[in-house]
Amino acid sequence: MSQDSAEINLEAALARATSAARTVLRRKLNVTLRPEDGRTENQDALELLCDIQFRILRKLQSPDRAATGVDAPAIRNIDFYAKQSARNACAEYLRDRYPHRAFLKNRLRRFFRSRPAFAEWELDGEMVCGFAGWRNRKEYAPNAKFIAKALADPASLAPDAQPRTSHENLHATEWDVLLESVLSDLGCAIELDDLVSVLAPRMGVKDLPAQTGRPAEDELAPLEAADSLAQLQQIADPAAEVYLRELLTALWQSLLQMDARKRCAFLLNPPSIEVELLPLYGVAQIPDIGKALALTDAQFAALCSELPVTELASSSGNRQADYDTKFAILWNFLPLQDALIGKLLNLNQQQVINQRMLARRILARELARLLVRPA
Amino acid sequence: MSEHLTPSKLESYRNRALSPGDLLLAVAHLAECPECRAGLNPSISANLATATNLAAIRGSFADAAHLQFEEMESYLAGEAPPETRAMVEAHLGNCDRCAHEVSDLRGFMTLPAPGSLFEMLAVQQELEEEKSRSSWFSRAVRSRAYQLGVAAVVLLIAFGAFRYSPFFKGNASGDRLNTVQAPAAVTVKLPPAELSDGSRKITITSDGVISGLQTFPPPYRDRLSAVLSFAHFDRPSYTESTWAQHELLTARTAFGDSHLLLGTLELHAGHYAEARQEFTALSAENPGSDLAASLLHKLDELAK
């Protein structure tokens, strides 16, 4: 394939994925995604969209790496990936901005997961809830009309579907009656987030996103076509490299301060491209990363028996040079599988996953102050 | 700065095919040379490549910053394995937001099951309150403390009535849970009868004592005895209907072979057609049984 046609494909795939992500963002956050809409939520959503687009782009470029078996698997369904990225971004955004809404959502999830007559399940990547008997149904109502009506006119809900008190004060039967009435009113499953949106204002939840009603799909259609690689090229900030180096430096410093198990679990199977970027941006050279791992001869020997390479067991007499060379060989095999990392660390696979998750959480907290896009 | 990397070197770097010596040299050069770095992503500009890298890192940590719902739930339910528990606790020590969410969810985890005695009493109490909302007394009655008090008193009275009833004394040597006294308000006295219901044999003696319900939990036994003695065979109240609807799923799973129980719950849920199906099946299982035929007949009357 020529470079031109590859670029056209990339642009087309990105525009399609952006359109899918937009749909989710608009629906979940009740925003227009119009640049001229100055509401905070809308501007935040535009920033989220920008992040999602970049991540999609990164993924879209991975297939040629995937062919060599050294990078993340290619995206099989770009629309699904875009929608899922948007859903995750929205969920974290709402949780972060509106903690009391998050409390209610947690309670609802617990309710649906613990009551035998009710259930929550995933459908097309969306978390939906309803009566347990509906679980096998393949469709759920987008509920746009129901939600718009319920938000605009609380009296439109059946009397039993109107909570009389805050969610902190409802007792078990009231939860049952309330949710049964809402679901009976609907007659079909509903997205969990939509249910939260309908109930929250009636249950004393104060911190709520502004509800402005949803823009019609066709009203916004012309905007979809405007998203393209060329536009992203314009958005890409030349100062971003400085920021990226800063971010990577903070990440590397945090990694060095971590205990060895977490550090190894993270560095040997990083969740994304962080480790790969460390040497590329001069933050830590490959030998530095090797030193931070401090692998023993026995660990190299264990790796040698699992990986298709024999040099890891050889020795030339120069201990440091040997170590750097062995690690450079190992570098080409990263990321390692968790089971193999477990053998090196005397942990089971789940413990490795947990150690890495702990490492990610520590890093996420450390980086939180830097993870704000510079003005 | 060393010489730029050739396209084939860049390709080998991308494919992780460089020898250790070449790899270290290539990386040292890439760290200093934006031009060659841009060559790693030939289809996009260097700025765009940087921006995508930034977004990938932001995205990579966005979902790791806080506990997921499933982690909080399994931790609070005591179902998390030790490593996960340790991980959650370590995180909670450092994250106010998750600590607040866990604290809020903790109170909700112990929400009693619907249909429990306390819940039924609380609902009953509330229905009665509706009738007398205008008085100052009703406001006091609405308090949780009052509801708890009422629940406790009713439990005591119920226990006392049961403990000192002739039924309790008369069955002291037997398994009292195996037999259920029909409620006192029985107006239709049935002749002694026997019913086959799946693997169970249910009998009603001439004294109106029903036995054979021991495989059912107590709330079901009460309902079945009320239906079998026709003491409670009318349109369900809202609370009953709600309870029965919730219980149907559980009952179908646990007692799928009991047409009597499923018919009773369908009846109490207000699902007459479904109740009819179950009672018809019960009749087929008990050909010639007057009791089974009476249940069907009574149901048809009610459905009209």
What's the whole-number mean pLDDT along residues A146-169?
67
Average pLDDT over residues A67-76: 43
> B222 with B288, same domain?
yes
Total beta-carbon pairs less than 8 A apart between chain A and chain B: 233
Measured in angstroms, the CA of B191 and the nearest CA of chain A are apart by 37
Chain A CB contacts of B48 under 8 Å are 57, 229, 232-233, 236
Provide ipTM, 2 decimals: 0.77
Same domain, yes or no, for B141 and B221?
A: no
Dihedral sign for Cα A228, A229, A230, A231, please.
positive
Tell me how far apart the alpha carbons of residues A330 and A309 are, in angstroms, rounded to a whole number.
9
Q: Which amino acid is at A337?
A: Q
Q: Answer yes or no: do B104 and B126 share one domain.
A: no
CB B240 within 8 A of CB B229: no
The Cα–Cα gap between B304 and B297 comes to: 11
**Is B257 found in the same domain as B192?**
yes
Taking contacts as CB-CB distances below 8 angstroms, the residues of chain B near A61 are: 41, 43-44, 52
pLDDT band at A60 (very low <50, low <70, confident <90, very high): confident
Q: b vs e for A1-18, b when ≥16 Cβ sit within 10 Å of the residue's Cβ?
A: eeeeeeeeebbebbbbbb
Contacts of A180 in chain B (CB under 8 A): 242, 245
| Domain match, B141 and B258 both | no
Q: Is the pLDDT assigned to residue A156 strictly greater than 70?
A: no
**A18 near A78, Cβ under 8 Å?**
no
Residues B38 and B128 in one domain: no
CATH number where B196 lies: 1.25.40
B159 belongs to a structural domain = yes
- What does the pLDDT look like over A313-325, one tens digit per residue? 566 666 666 888 8
- Secondary structure tally for chain B: helices H, strands E: 16, 4
Average pLDDT, chain B: 73
How far apart, in whole angstroms, are the C-alpha atoms of residue B111 and residue A170? Answer: 10
CB pair distance less than 8 Å for B15 and A70: yes
Residues of B in contact with A325 (CB under 8 A): 20-21
**Cβ-Cβ contacts under 8 Å for A242 (sequence gap 6 or more):** none
Give per-residue pLDDT as tens, B56-83: 887 777 777 788 899 999 998 888 888 7
- Distance from the A52 Cα atom to the nearest Cα atom in chain B, whole angstroms: 7
B64 contacts A374 by C-beta, under 8 angstroms: no
Cβ–Cβ under 8 Å, residues B117 and A116:
no
User: Which stretch of DSSP H or E encloses residue A361?
Assistant: helix A349-367
Q: Which of residues 68-107 of B touch A (CB under 8 A)?
A: 69, 72-73, 81, 83-84, 87, 90-91, 94-95, 97, 100-101, 104-105, 107
Shared domain check, B79 and B56: no
**Whether A365 and B94 lie within 8 Å, measured CB to CB:** yes
Helix axes B82-92, B96-109, angle to 10 degrees: 120
Computed over every residue of chain A, the mean pLDDT equals: 79
- Encoded tokens for B62: 């966005």
Does A236 contact B122 at a Cβ distance shorter than 8 Å?
A: no
* Domain range for B182: 175-303
Task: Flag whether B170 is in a domain.
Answer: no
Whether residue B209 sits in one domain with residue B268 = yes
When mean pLDDT is compared across A73-77, A134-138, A185-189, the lowest value belongs to A73-77
pLDDT band at A210 (very low <50, low <70, confident <90, very high): low
Statement: residue A292 has pLDDT above 50 = yes
- Give the one of B15, B54, B123 whose C-beta lies nearest to A173's C-beta: B123
User: What is the structure's pLDDT at A3?
Assistant: 56
The pLDDT value given to residue A253: 93
Residue B28 located in a structural domain: yes
Binding-face residues of B in 15-34 toward A, CB within 8 A:
15-18, 20-21, 23-24, 27-28, 30-32, 34
CA distance A223 to B260: 61
* pLDDT tier for residue A279 given thresholds of 50, 70 and 90: very high
Contact A273 B47 (CB under 8 A): no
Q: Are residues B255 and B278 in the same domain?
A: yes
Residue B1 lies in a domain: no
pLDDT, one tens digit per residue, over B185-208 is 333 456 788 889 988 888 888 777
Chain B (232-251) residues lying within 8 Å, Cβ to Cβ, of chain A: 238-239, 242, 245-250
Task: State the Cα–Cα distance between residues B304 and B291, nearest whole angstrom.
Answer: 20
**pLDDT tens digits for B204-247?**
887 778 888 877 766 677 778 878 877 777 777 655 666 676 67
Which residues have CB under 8 Å from B164's CB, separation 6+?
none
Neighbours of A118 (CB within 10 A): 24
A218 has pLDDT over 50: no
Q: Are residues B199 and B280 in the same domain?
A: yes
Q: Helices in A67-98 by DSSP H: which ranges?
A: 78-97
Nearest CA in chain A to B143: A169
Alpha-helical runs (H) found in A200-332: 217-226, 229-235, 240-257, 260-268, 274-280, 286-293, 297-306, 319-331
Q: Of A371, A96, A95, A134, give the one whose Cα is nearest residue A254.
A: A371
Q: Closest partner residue to A106 among B30, B69, B238, by Cβ?
A: B69
Q: Are residues B98 and B196 in the same domain?
A: no
Overall number of domains in chain B = 4
Residues of B whose CB is below 8 A from A280: 27, 30-31, 37, 40
Q: Which of A105-114, B250-259, B281-290 has the lowest mean pLDDT?
A: B250-259
Identify whether B169 is part of a domain.
no
| Dihedral Cα A267, A273, A278, A281, nearest 10 deg | 180
In a domain, B2, yes or no: no
Whether residue B190 sits in one domain with residue B138: no
